Structure 1
Amino acid sequence: MSLAEPLRSGAAQAPDGAPVLSVEGLSVSVATEGGSRPLVQGISFALRRGETLAIAGESGSGKSITSLAVMGLLPANVRATAGTVRLGATDLLRLPESRMRAIRGDRVAMIFQEPMTSLNPVMTVGAQLAEAIRAHAPLPRRAARARALDALRAVRLSEPERRLDQYPHELSGGMRQRVMIAMALALKPDVLIADEPTTALDVTVQREVLDLLRELRRETGTALVLITHDMGVVAEMADRVVVMKDGRLVEEGPVARIFAAPRQPYTRALLAAVPRMGTRPPADVPADAPALPSAPPVCTLRDLTVRFDIGRGLLGRPTHRVHAVEGVSFDIRAAETFALVGESGCGKSTIARAIAGLVPFAGGIDLAGHELRGQGDVTRAVRRDAQIVFQDPAAALDPRMRVGDLVAEPLVIHGIGTRDERRATVESLFERVGLSRTQLDRYPHEFSGGQRQRVCIARALALRPRLIVADESVSALDVSVQARVLALLRELQDDMGVSFLFISHDMAVVDSIADRVAVMFLGQILEMGTRAQVFGDPRHPYTRRLIEAVPVPDPTHVRPPRDRLASEVPSPVRRRDDPPRRLRLRDVGDGHLVSEPGPPGEPV
């Protein structure tokens, strides 16, 4: 059975042009100790068969609450207080849970943002798919397994027969998301709700998932509700757009009109904050400008290698080795932003941990004149010169401490200043990162995500480091908050002369902030040069593939067709007696370094 078969006779087949899903005047409130508080107020929209409606907005705008209300999955203390949600002629808000359970997954399905938390880790992929199918269709186990196999084939998953017997942890993030899509579409629902389905994915995997959703929508006629804060994804996928802010509908219309002539200031601000590839002008240096004195690099990596032995043979000896970083060399200059880009598992974050002395390594790291030779060779002086800003600010801040104490903690550890002097320093840092002195005595949970990241930046600046490692530090932020944090980093660099090692898989963000860029794959650098060289004249096929996969926030942009990659990214795990081939970089002009494409199994 194919997912492309017509909808079953029991499906809600609305007449041509009539909505399959209609939301009218939806309001949702949460019960608090102080009384009922509105989360969503008066939302209305309609969705027709085969159409994609994007619900866009920042965190807290009510996007996900709206989708949960449609699915009947609101938390116990949250309820719909007004409006209707009609699937065909059926008002879903008036149905008891027993009837809603029959509709959920069968006629209205949902794909959540993080597939690992949505899949049962102790059940095989095939068992979970078959269970979902049998919950709505009275099929014997063998027939349910056959349909599960058809569903995996429909989402173009490589080796589908093998995947049926694997567990979720054995699959990559992109493969797990494909399994979630297969599970959602196995029963050919009338409506599919995708809540941030590509936010946590690498740019190439995101491209494959978006292409897949577009093709499956065209083949099955399923209507798609796409919830996202990525306006590039909205431009490429949506027919119509609903923009939300603070639980209210701000603007609605066809995607071309919203992007070409947004009517509301909030929509215009949202679109203006979107990073766009190729819009930043190259650095212009006047011909008669005096030569700057050459300063030694702030950080130099020479043949950095990080490997981990795994597996155990008959005699307890390791059998395999993870080649996380394999012979990487580069330097970071004073007041420079050097970016590492690449897909998950390429070794970007491992390099950051090696600089911080958190993993054992071979090779050399010179940090502000201190030569590091191994994991334990990181002194207090070295830690003062290099600080890290992590991806998740909520996890990086102790929830039991006030933010003022968190920012002052590095000063206390290093014995810098008196109590009053430390307080004055923290107040100055808060003002520097755009926070108020009155917020010093608050706890992390009292801040938004962007504000928490500003607290982390203030803490990283407390010791006046020479180098700040920003490891995916803006990837979890809304686009407008992301733009403000990036502007803050540039301002701090201009004012304080600090250098940044900026680690990201978001090519558009890197293009907006980096001075030089290195592209990594399987622990090695494939291409390195200035931002203009790497993004303006990419020489390696893998670099071009990364750039081509970036969503373009322009509905009129026509993306050239390219072959789908259904296979897995090669693994950095190899037998101990089978080391990877070291790639050599050659200078193609003005310091633009490029490796030759490798043999099969390596980037092409």
Structure 2
Amino acid sequence: MQEVATRSGAAAAPDAAPDAALDAAAEAAPVLLVAGLTVSVRTEAGLKPLVENLSFTLRRGETLAIAGESGSGKSMTSLAIMGLLPPPAVRVTAGSIRLGQTDLTAAPEAQMRHVRGDRIAMIFQEPMTSLNPVLTIGTQLAEAIRAHEPLPRAEARRRALAALTAVRLSQPERRMHQYPHELSGGMRQRVMIAMALALRPEVLIADEPTTALDVTVQREVLDLLRDLQRDLGTAIILITHDMGVVAEMADRVIVMKSGRMVEQAPVRQLFHAPTEPYTRDLLAAVPRMGARAAAAAPAPLPAAEPVARLSDVVVRFPVRGGLLGRTTLNVHAVEHVSFDIARGETFALVGESGCGKSTIARAIVGLVPHQGQITVGDHVLSAHGRDAPKALRRKVQMVFQDPMAALDPRMRVGDLIAEPLLIHGIGTAADRRAEAADLLRRVGLSPDQIDRYPHEFSGGQRQRICIARALALKPDLIIADESVSALDVSVQARVLALLQELQQEMGVAYLFISHDMAVVDSISDRVAVMYLGQIVEMGSRAQVFGDPRHPYTQRLIEAVPVPDPAHQRRPSVRMTGDLPNPVHPVGSGPERVILRDVGAGHLVAI
């Protein structure tokens, strides 16, 4: 009874002091202790360290962020903790990783199978590749639970349903019977979080958990992780290159570069008084909302004809069903969209995945059929989207999100850059090679690299090669479709600076498609916000970001992570229920949005 009285807040008896000391010691003891960790890869020249002499501790309920650029060793550290390094090429060559009293570097695989999921869980960057596409969500969750606890199937499914409910997934009973492809990216990430936390692990490793998500979905996932950590006391290792996420989530931060720890500090100290030049450079490269000086007035409309004009453009995709395969539904991807892009202007399309941004880009280059009128220069694009003339294709070029997927790995970069010139029959072989060398120089690469292959370049360098190829035909318009979203912040800053420099030099216009509001704020002249295939707000950058009028625009801007630990975010209403659906029966569709001018060309849906 005396112990009960003490824990309930009554006056402590003298012999209760040892119990309190034991509790404090247990609370202070680290859950995870990494000491002198070195991970090496076997090469022809011997072992090469990928992570070198890394040490840190992680305590219960703490969030430790490991930040740095690609190749810094962040993900390799997480794989070492999980015991998932690819043998025999990569292995731990020095140091220890202790989970409580267990040394994970010396644990056999049979023991690690019990540790994974039960004591340490991991959320990967791309949930679709982490979920089995041929098993239902409920089956996969129950399977993960039964792998560690000998439960009947019915009890495991009850626990799985409780886990889905805990991560606030709408209609959890229905989701149990669905397959991964039937869920959105944010829903799949919630399933991965439910799977990771179903067994209440001591440590949760989140490896870039929000990089591929829209800003509003990212906000929901981060809020969810914070709530679950508060309820369960789980320690979190957050691996990311997004310093805004670090500022909002972390208690302590480790900054890594080339496999070594550059700096370690509490989050506020690191952001407000970084000691290392690399950390200062990393923070300086982070795009910040409002950092660009607001224009005194919106840019005037150009007097000349625009390089591209969309008038009442509609794109719908039929969904066939039934025994006769008739069209019963339509996906309303783009609905009655109209805008102009002026020469030398950066026009940005922003919105969540599925809002129609990329579909508009494909319609402009003639890759999908459309209704309405698309004019590029003096050419009106065919509504069938198939027979765009070469003259039109010379005027519009695209830069895609994944540069490695956009470059043929069997071709040298000089040939890749010169290929558009070859297709259009421009110049001799010597002329095309000289032009490719000049374009490499323009995008900040060396002409000496002209005979290398894409795999010999970094991600940022490959994106520069894609930009050089897009410039080869001297187009009037370049469509940049999420062209910097997969890049580290420092590489991203260099690519954005390059785009602006080339625009000033060549007068090219950009259609910049992104869900990163801070990047759009830093580069755009005018902005259109899309929601479910329609534009809900459009105006100059200063109008849309400085005075957002539509509730959806306001929600997008409020969800952007702020790279300042002192920033206090206003409480917001969380989304509940199912997401609105762009699929409608034939003959019906969404209500058409009407834009109203609220002043100086600032258009807002009414």
Please state if 1:466 is matched with 2:476. Answer: yes
1:196 corresponds to: 208
Asked if the contact 2:68/2:257 (under 8 Å) is kept, the reply is yes
Q: Among 300, 304, 318, which residue is 2:327 paired with? A: 318
Please tell me whether the aligned partners of residues 307 and 323 of structure 1 are also in contact (alpha carbons under 8 angstroms): yes
CA distance in 1, matches of 2:224, 2:44: 45
* Alpha-carbon distance in structure 1 between the residues aligned to 2:251 and 2:539: 39
CA drift at 1:36? 1.3
Match of 2:131 in 1: 119
Following superposition, the deviation at residue 14 of structure 1 comes to: 7.2
Letter in 1 for 2:180: P
Match of 2:84 among 50, 73, 88: 73
Kept in 2, the 8 Å contact 1:363–1:373? The answer is no
Tell me the equivalent position of 1:298. 307
Residue 353 of structure 2 corresponds to residue 344 of structure 1: yes
* Residues in 1 aligned to 2:302 and 2:568: alpha-carbon distance in whole angstroms: 46
Q: Secondary structure at the residue paired with 2:467? A: helix
Deviation for aligned residue 1:377: 3.8
1:219-368 mapped onto 2 (5 Å cutoff): 219-284=231-296, 294-368=303-377
| 1:13/1:88 contact within 8 Å kept | no
Structure 1: distance between partners of 2:566 and 2:528: 31
In 1, Cα distance between equivalents of 2:395 and 2:311: 19
2:447 aligns with 437
SS at match of 1:528: strand
Alignment partner of 1:527 is 2:527:
no
1:62–1:246 CA contact under 8 A, matched in 2: yes
Q: Find the aligned partners of 1:268 and 1:337 in 2 and give their Cα distance.
A: 29
Counterpart CA distance in 2 for 1:592 and 1:367 is 24
SS at match of 2:327: coil
Identity %: 73
Q: Counterpart of 1:64 in 2: which secondary structure?
A: helix
Q: Which residue of 1 aligns with 2:596?
A: 586
Q: Which residue does the alignment assign to 1:543? A: 553
Question: Which residue type is aligned with residue 342 of structure 2?
Answer: R
In structure 2, the residue matched to 1:61 is 72
Whole-angstrom distance in 1 between the partners of 2:577 and 2:82 = 33
Please tell me the residue identity of whatever aligns with 1:455: I
Contact 2:124 2:207 in 1 (8 A): yes
1:23 and 2:34 correspond: yes
TM-score calculated relative to the size of structure 1: 0.95
**TM-score, length of structure 2 as denominator length:** 0.94
| CA-to-aligned-CA distance 1:99-155 (integer Å, 9 cap, x gap) | 111111100000000000000011111110000000111110011011001101110
SS in 2 for 1:318: strand
Q: 1:14 to 1:382 in 2, by over 3 A?
A: farther
The amino acid of 2:55's aligned partner reads: S
- Provide, for residues 243-270 of structure 1, a one-character-per-residue CA deviation record: whole Å limited to 9, x for no partner: 0000000000100000000000000000
Any idea what SS the aligned residue of 1:406 has?
A: helix
Map 1:37-48 → 2, pairs under 5 A: 37-48=48-59
Whether the 8 Å CA contact 1:328–1:524 is kept in 2: the answer is: yes
2:11 corresponds in structure 1 to none
C-alpha distance in 2 between matches for 1:34 and 1:393: 30
Instruction: Report how many aligned residue pairs link the two structures.
Output: 582
Aligned positions of 1:445-484 closer than 5 A = 445-484=455-494
Runs ≥4 residues deviating over 6 A: none
Change (3 A) 1:210 1:131: same
> What is the rounded CA distance, in whole Å, between the counterparts of 2:321 and 2:341 in structure 1?
39
In structure 2, what is the Cα distance between the partners aligned to 1:176 and 1:214? Answer: 18
User: Cα gap change, 1:224/1:419 in structure 2, threshold over 3 Å: closer, same or farther?
Assistant: same
- Rounded to whole Å, the distance in 2 between the matches of 1:219 and 1:31 is 43
Post-superposition Cα deviations, 1:270-313, rounded to whole Å, max 9, x if no partner, equal 00000000110023579xx9x99722101000011101111223
Q: Which residue of 1 aligns with 2:19?
A: none
What is the root-mean-square deviation in Å for CA atoms of aligned residues? 1.5
Superimposed CA distance per residue, residues 286-341 of structure 1 (whole angstroms, 9 cap, x where no aligned partner):
9xx9x997221010000111011112234331110010101100000010000000
Residue 524 of structure 1 deviates from its aligned partner by 0.3
Cα-to-partner distance string for 1:459-509 (whole Å, 9 max, x where unaligned) = 000000000000000000000000000000000000000000000000000
Q: Which residue of 1 aligns with 2:18?
A: none
Aligned residue type for 1:31? R
The residue matched to 1:80 in structure 2 has which SS?
strand
Q: SS at the partner of 1:93? A: coil
- Distance, in Å, in 1 between the alignment partners of 2:599 and 2:72 is 48
Gaps of 5+ in 2: 1-22
Conservation of the 8 A alpha-carbon contact between 2:290 and 2:521: yes
Q: Are residues 1:505 and 2:505 paired?
A: no
- Whether 1:496 aligns to 2:509 is no
Aligned-pair distance for 1:220? 0.3
- Report the counterpart of residue 8 of structure 1 in structure 2: none
Query: Is the 2:124–2:206 Cα contact (8 Å) retained in structure 1?
Result: yes
- Note the alpha carbon deviations across 1:29-53, whole angstroms, 9 max, x for none: 0112332111000001100000000
Match of 2:170 among 153, 158, 165: 158
Identify unmatched segments of 5+ residues in structure 1. Answer: 1-11, 597-604
